[in-house]
Chains A and B, each alone.
Chain A
Amino acid sequence: MAQTLNVSGLTNMQFRKFFKPVEDSMLGFELRRSFLKALTLTATYVVLTLVIFNTTFGLVLALTTTALSERVGSFFRAIWLLPRMSPSVVYALLWSWTIDPTERGLLNQVAINIFGIGPINMKLHHPMMLIVISNGFIGASLGMIILTSAIRSIPKHLFYAAQADGAGPLSITWHIILPALRWPLSYITIFQTLALLVSFEYIFLIMGPARSTMTMAMLAYTKTLAPGVGAGLYAYGAAITMILIVIGIFLALLLWRLSNMQRLITEPRIEVQ
């Protein structure tokens, strides 16, 4: 056992690393720049992925695939589930090959030969876009699945009645489908916020310990356990985690309020043991 564990450093010393004392600010503290950066990066990453992919694009996929015949629709849904079902290392590898900054990368082959723009280095110049899209492709499928079955569970007769009443596809989407998706959408939003907040697997596998995408979860992971770069700063990592846990508990409680609790805890009806 080459590694030794030192957990005694978990004191408020670790939290002081996030804040620095400033005389004239309100609480007497302000965030250190590095920590502020991690906080901003996390917020940007979570909000962008959530808004663009997990909810909006998931909704678009659910709406378009259910508007087509069952066979065609489930074909496209199967394609979009592929990233979720692939091992994470394979998926990350695909991405790093696709965005390879040389001319061999798939993206650059397309960019150079079709659009005529020079080799793009996503990792260097658009790191946020890269992690948002790569995580979004996976996140969109969860929204897609949940919303697809929510759409399916709308009574068929409502669609028939709306059609007979003169509603076209857009009116049906707006007046019949979307009102029925309000609850599943808020569920997805919170559930996915939690997941995105602490997710670092794909970021780490695609970006490595790059500073440009060092979100809070990444920071905690790379400072502690990450293979190759993990520095074993367990106390520092744990301090970051504590902050994530506080946000997490708050969101989880919100989710619990939103859940269909009444149905979930319906009492059993047989009393024989």
Chain B
Amino acid sequence: MARITLKNLKKAWLAESPAVDGINLELKEGELASILGPSGCGKSTTLLMLAGIYAPTSGEILFDGEIVNDVEARDRNVGIVFQSYALYPNMSVLNNILFPLRFKKLPKNVAEKEARNIAELVMIEDLLERRPSQLSGGQQQRVALARALVKKPNLLLLDEPLSNLDATLRLNMRSEIKRIQKELEVTTILVTHDQIEATTMADRIICMNKGKIIQLGSPEELYKKPVSKFVASFIGSPPMNLFEGQNDDGVIRAGALNFGMKGTTDKKNLICGLRPENINIAEQGIEGTIYTIEPLGREILYGLKTETGIIWFLESTSNAEYDIGNLVRINFDYQNTLVFDRDTEERLDSVHFYVE
């Protein structure tokens, strides 16, 4: 269980813009961090550099304060689970799990005992004699996890481990992985493009885009105080309402609507952010007609056509239901609103807006 440090880590392939462009990061022992970002943001490249599969173009990777850039993958003692699980098709489940122990020169009975222990931990002790092709996706996932964990890795890397599972299994494995990780206290990095996975599982989220870290913090921080429009739109489901506004001496003009502004800024062009879950039906507020309806089970997502465009909001099913074309008013608490600079896309601290 190691402390992992990345210093100004870069990876560039010939004649392309760098895939990873100067990453600085420090992971505590036993922490579960998630690298979150859209596809092609450099998150998998970072992971493969940590595993020792790719060599960094520049920068340093440190395990417990020692540079390991030139250490071969096989010497790093890193466990890794891929989206495709990458189980060795010609070996039984038990041999798959035993494979990493082969190179540790353990006595055979000790190795087998450890393999059986870990199999019990991930609950596949009945499947040990089967071949990977005879297993379901979820079972293969557990085998891959066991294989990565059996060698007591310095670092556990999970590369989109849940993407190939169906919805219920995914929910199941999410909590399962978290439980195992906490039990073994292994430093873990989870790479994902799914913000729900990141927010539910990780202690800390590293939000990446275009090879750079955009924000690093707890799930709550990223949700409540995103540093930029990118993070704000990436975190949260359904995604945040974003609409353009013009700062006119303390009044934000968005389309034909006017909002009051809390706090001050000298920026002219703004973007207003408002999460659907923070909007309520109210007596007073923005007026609009219901445009679309998406039942989500416990809640309904409405699209409201207002004078500044469509605004999405969530309403509990237990409240009155509306039909398309109904005229409603919505309102919200100014503390839940976010304001961004339209040019830099950065969030303006302690600037909010409200319905006048």
Interface residues of A (CB under 8 A from B): 155, 157-158, 160-168, 171, 175-176, 179-180
Contacts and interface: CB of A to CB of B under 8 A. Distances in A.
Residue of A157, A164, A166 ringed by the most chain B CB atoms within 10 A: A164
Contact of B104 (A158, A160, A166, A180): A166
Contacts of A158: 86, 88
B86 A163 contact: no
B147 A160 contact: no
Interface of B: 48, 51-53, 72-80, 82, 84, 86, 88-91, 99-100, 102-104, 147-148, 151, 157
Given A160-B48, A175-B88, A167 B78 contact: no
Given A155-B84, A175-B99, 8 more contacts: A160-B73, A163-B52, A166-B103, A167-B102, A167-B103, A179-B88, A180-B89, A180-B90
Contact of A161 (B75, B76, B86, B103): B86
Given A165-B151, A168-B74, A160 B82 contact: yes
A163 B151 contact: no
Contacts of B80: 160-161, 164
Contacts of A157: 82, 84, 86
Chain A to chain B: the 10 pairs with minimum beta-carbon distance, closest first = A166-B103, A179-B90, A157-B86, A165-B100, A163-B73, A161-B86, A166-B74, A157-B82, A164-B80, A160-B53
Contacts of B72: 163
B51 A179 contact: no
Nearest to B155: A164
A234 B338 CA distance: 95
Contacts of A155: 84, 86
Contacts of B157: 164
A182 to B, nearest CB: 9
Contacts of A166: 74-75, 77, 100, 102-104, 151
Nearest to B144: A161
A179 B76 contact: no
B86 to A, nearest CB: 4
Contacts of A160: 48, 51, 53, 73, 80, 82, 86
Given A157-B84, A160-B48, A179-B89, A165 B104 contact: no
Contacts of B102: 166-167, 171
Determine the main DSSP class of A at the interface with B: helix
A265 to B, nearest CB: 22
A163 B74 CA distance: 5
A150 to B, nearest CB: 14
Nearest to B103: A166
A199 B342 CA distance: 75
A179 B96 CA distance: 14
B147 A165 contact: yes
A31 to B, nearest CB: 44
Contacts of A165: 74, 99-100, 103, 147, 151
Contacts of B77: 166
Nearest to B76: A164
A175 B86 CA distance: 13
B94 to A, nearest CB: 14
A164 B84 contact: no
A179 B52 CA distance: 25
Nearest to A178: B90
A164 B89 contact: no
A178 to B, nearest CB: 9
Nearest to B153: A164
Nearest to B50: A164
Residue of A162, A168, A180 ringed by the most chain B CB atoms within 10 A: A162
Contact of A164 (B74, B90, B91): B74
Contacts of B76: 164
A70 to B, nearest CB: 12
A176 B74 CA distance: 15
A175 B151 CA distance: 18
Contacts of B51: 160, 163-164
Residue of B51, B74, B78, B103 ringed by the most chain A CB atoms within 10 A: B74
A164 B103 contact: no
B106 to A, nearest CB: 12
A56 to B, nearest CB: 21
Contacts of A168: 74, 103
27 contacts: A155-B84, A157-B84, A157-B86, A158-B88, A160-B51, A160-B53, A160-B82, A160-B86, A161-B80, A161-B86, A161-B147, A163-B73, A164-B80, A165-B100, A165-B103, A165-B151, A166-B74, A166-B77, A167-B74, A167-B99, A168-B74, A168-B103, A175-B99, A176-B88, A179-B89, A179-B90, A180-B89
Contacts of B100: 165-166
A160 B88 CA distance: 11
